[in-house]
Structure 1
Amino acid sequence: MADPDPDRVLVPSLGRPGEDEALAYALESFPDAEIVLLAVVTPLESPLSEGGVLERDDDRFEEARETAKTRLASVAADSSERVRIETVEGRPGTVVPRYASDEAVDHVVMYGHGTNTSGLVRRFLGRDVATTVVERTDEPVTVLG
């Protein structure tokens, strides 16, 4: 049974539209929880990356962190003391469930990335990230979208 009052809520940040909604939902729905805004940097060899054009010493980690900070400032600057920003590299469907398990997260809130993509895009990318996270995460997952 899901914890109605989680202590730590994970909100993945992949740099896609709709993620502001997930962060706002987590802040409003879980007013006493610490929110972890997880900026995920996709590996260069991944099909979701920029095509391997960038070098390994690129600024993607800092850019992901800045995107997460901007997202936080636009959604709820007054709640920033409750939000911790972390940055990880990996495929979102793998690193989000692993982070949730390893870091004692009680709940995951995310936007339903890819749920409105075409069949061709889905076939290229595999499946949408939200479905993969739901299937691989032991903790409750709220998918918005």
Structure 2
Amino acid sequence: MVDPATVLVPTLGRPREDDALAYALETFPNANVRLLAIVTPLDARMSEGSVLERADERTAEARERAARLLAVVDESAGDRVEIDSTEGQPGTVVPKYATDHDVDHVVMYGHDTRSSGLVARFLGRGVATTVIERTSQPVTILQ
């Protein structure tokens, strides 16, 4: 496998996303890393809260969350990491972003790849499963 030039690490404000960023930085030491702060639409099933907030405020908060994540993982990696943000459903946004920005590999934390049966029917498909199915680039899901 050829080392990727660009690795995408999407963030949704979930626990253990620092593990995904640390994994990307350690596993691909020569790659540029794009830390993508995703803001889900307020009407989405994954909405960050029930209080309506202005979209620009939510986007700024997502970018700050990504910057804090980077600081927790490794401040020296800052020259390799670019923080970007977007709004949308992660299962749609990640594949499109990866294609539009010439990303070679996606690394994310996801606990949903093993969900099945009754729980999956009630909760719907998980983000990680959707990203895997819709992304043409290799995807690494950390459990």
Give the TM-score normalised by structure 2.
Answer: 0.90
Paired position in structure 2 for 1:22: 20
- Aligned pair 1:82/2:80, yes or no? yes
Provide the residue aligned with 1:101 in structure 2.
99
Any conservation in 2 of the 1:111–1:144 contact (CA below 8 Å)? Answer: yes
Shift of the alpha carbon at 1:58?
5.7
Amino-acid identity (%): 64
Question: For 2:24 and 2:37, how far apart are their aligned partners in 1?
Answer: 16
Task: Tell whether the 8 Å contact from 1:36 to 1:85 is kept in structure 2 after alignment.
Answer: yes
> Partner residue of 2:130?
132
Query: Runs in 1 of length 4+ with deviation above 2 angstroms?
Result: 50-53, 55-58, 113-125
Distance (whole Å) between structure 2 residues aligned to residue 62 and residue 122 of structure 1? 32
Give structure 2 stretches of 5+ with no counterpart. Answer: none
Q: SS of the residue aligned with 2:67? A: helix
- Runs (5+) with no aligned partner, structure 1: none
1:20–1:119 distance in 2 versus 1, CA, 3 Å: farther
Between the aligned partners of 1:57 and 1:89, the Cα distance in structure 2 is 9
Q: How does 1:5-44 map to 2 (within 5 A)?
A: 5-44=3-42
Is the Cα–Cα contact under 8 Å of residues 8 and 107 in structure 1 kept in the other structure?
yes
Counterparts in 2 of 1:112 and 1:57: CA distance versus 1, 3 Å: closer
What SS does the corresponding residue of 1:59 show, helix, strand or coil?
helix
Cα deviation, residue 4, structure 1: 2.3
Relative to structure 1, the CA distance from residue 52 to residue 142 in structure 2 (aligned partners, 3 Å threshold; closer, same or farther) is same
SS at match of 2:18: helix
Aligned ranges 1:40-59 → 2 under 5 Å:
40-50=38-48, 53-57=51-55, 59=57
* Whole-angstrom CA distance in 2 between matches of 1:117 and 1:9: 26
8 A Cα contact 2:112 2:129, kept in partner: no
Task: Note the alpha carbon deviations across 1:48-104, whole angstroms, 9 max, x for none.
Answer: 114653144461111101110000000011111100000000000000010001111
2 CA distance for matches of 1:137 and 1:10?
Answer: 12
Verify the 8 A CA contact 1:114 1:128 in the aligned structure 2.
yes
| Cα drift, residue 126 of structure 1 | 1.6
TM-score under structure 1 length normalisation: 0.89
Aligned-partner Cα distance in 2 for 1:43–1:122 = 22
Is contact 1:45–1:51 with CA below 8 Å preserved after alignment?
no
Q: What is the root-mean-square deviation in Å for CA atoms of aligned residues?
A: 2.1
Residue 10 of structure 2 aligns to which amino acid in structure 1? P
